[in-house]
Amino acid sequence: MGSSFRMEPVGVVRLEGEKAHIEIYPPYIDALLGLEDFSHLMVFWWFHQNDTPEKRATLRVHPRKDPANPLRGVFATHAPMRPNLVALSFCRNLSIVKSRIFIDGIDAFDGTPVIDIKPYIPVEDLAPEGVSVPDWV
């Protein structure tokens, strides 16, 4: 197998009722410079509550936990069980105040580690012509 590596969270998801924000840890606050100019963000986070050897070893699932859907490899799904528990959420950037990025919501739990944030930059080739998806999607 390949080499191993280590990632450190840059912040944490905070949920308060209907409101959500990302609290950036002090060593990474300088990385926020200019992020306020972007309307949308790609937030990469870790499925920390799913991190067990058994769930990492799960390589096939029924998409959307529906046994009526065909069995598929996790790389062909958005299942939270996978070898590396990286998740991606597309969020609207509402505002940034000091070390907090206020967003319109995120499909993560309160306390979820954030491993990276990138501004969304529309690019035509991200949605090429002729894209197809299976019927279960």
Give the CATH number for residue 52.
Answer: 2.40.30.70
* Residue 42 structural domain: 11-121
Q: Which residue has the tokens 């998806």?
A: 133
- Report the C-alpha gap between 11 and 106 in whole angstroms: 14
pTM attached to this predicted model: 0.86
Contact predicate 122/28, CB 8 Å: no
* Strand partners of residue 19: 16
- Report the C-alpha gap between 85 and 80 in whole angstroms: 7
End-to-end CA distance of the chain: 32
Give the tens place of pLDDT for each residue, 127-136: 556 666 678 7
Give the tens place of pLDDT for each residue, 33-85: 999 999 999 999 999 988 899 999 999 999 999 999 999 999 999 888 899 99
Domain count, the chain: 1
* Strand partners of residue 99: none
Examine residue 3 and state whether it is found in any structural domain, yes or no. Answer: no
